[in-house]
Amino acid sequence: MNWDQIKGRWKEMTGRVRERWGELTEDEVQQAAGNREQLEGLIQQRYGKTKEQAREEVDKWASEQN
């Protein structure tokens, strides 16, 4: 699934995001509101990842969504 599709279905996708990155709070996921860069930033902060690592994780996750 491409990011435009994910963004358009963000309310549905929040549960999947929380399954994958369980340390993110519901509020954080809601605030990201489908904004990929914001989601990557939250992953960086919460998990101590580099920008590149967060981007790769989000890429992998997005490609797994149907």
Does the model's pTM come out above 0.85? yes
How confident is the model at residue 59, as a pLDDT?
96
Query: Residue 44 in contact with residue 50, Cβ under 8 Å?
Result: yes
Domains defined along the chain, listed by start: 3-64 (1.10.1470.10)
Q: What's the whole-number average pLDDT of the chain?
A: 95
Ranges of the chain whose pLDDT falls below 70:
none
User: Rounded distance, CA 62 to CA 65, Å?
Assistant: 5
How confident is the model at residue 66, as a pLDDT?
81
